[in-house]
Amino acid sequence: MSLVYVIAHGLRPMTEADLPRILQIELASYEHPWSIGNFTDSLHVGYSMWVREAEGEIMGYYVMMAAAGEAHLLNLTIAPYWRRHGLGRDLLDHCVARARDHQADSLFLEVRTSNTAAIALYHSSGFIDLAVRRAYYPTIDGREDALIMKKDLAC
Ligand SMILES: CC(C)(COP(=O)(O)OP(=O)(O)OC[C@H]1O[C@@H](n2cnc3c(N)ncnc32)[C@H](O)[C@@H]1OP(=O)(O)O)[C@@H](O)C(=O)NCCC(=O)NCCS
């Protein structure tokens, strides 16, 4: 399957039928993954949830909530095999466009300060550092800071 084919195809809303495969990607991606319940709750409250797939294979997905002029990116994950091919940036661009569709002025997110790959993606996509929440995330042996980032959607 060529990358051109992948980029050109297959962004669609997430459904409950996707969740078993998405859980596998979560488990492969995070020490503290989202549960099936986290995804079903998000689907039921109507968050913006999109999947990138080609030929039935899920490569990545994101979850975004938007309300009262603000949007929050809650989850952005690319399956390990498909990383470093531009799919993360592509999904993030799609998320920004959907946030604008919801009339959001700003898109916020939180990321572990050790997650240099994600932070590089966000900085190069116009996010700025807003604040640090000390000891916000659990780790295997303690706690880790969260970096809060923001992208201004007005410009
Ligand atoms: C973070 C993540 C979504 C990036 O997705 P991706 O498809 O691999 O990223 P892209 O190929 O679109 O890369 C976009 C930019 O991100 C940065 N980046 C991505 N992976 C990187 C890495 N391993 N090291 C350093 N920078 C990296 C680079 O700036 C890159 O731009 P470049 O290719 O011009 O150098 C992916 O690594 C992932 O799913 N990680 C696990 C889950 C996670 O941490 N999600 C974010 C939670 S806040």
Question: How confident is the model over 37-67, as pLDDT tens digits?
Answer: 999 999 999 999 999 998 899 999 999 999 9
Angle (deg, nearest 10), helices 87-101 and 116-124 = 50
Please report which confidence band the pLDDT of residue 10 belongs to, taking 50, 70 and 90 as the band edges.
confident
User: What atom of ligand 1 comes closest to residue 111's alpha carbon?
Assistant: 48
- Closest C-alpha to ligand 1, atom 1: 118
58-99 tens-digit pLDDT: 999 999 999 999 999 999 999 999 999 999 999 999 999 999
Confidence at residue 7, expressed as pLDDT on a 0 to 100 scale? 53
Query: For residue 55, what pLDDT is reported?
Result: 87
- Say how far apart CA 10 and CA 7 lie, in whole Å: 8
Rounded to the nearest angstrom, the distance between the alpha carbon of 12 and the centre of ligand 1 is 21
Looking at the predicted structure, is the pLDDT value of residue 2 above 70? no
Most ligand 1 atoms within 8 A of CB, residue of 84, 95, 125 to mutate = 84
| 3-state SS, residue 124 | helix
Instruction: List active site positions.
Output: 110, 122
The CA distances from residue 4 to 1, 52, 60, 141, in Å, are: 9, 13, 16, 42
Q: Is 149 in the pocket of ligand 1 (CB under 6 A)?
A: no
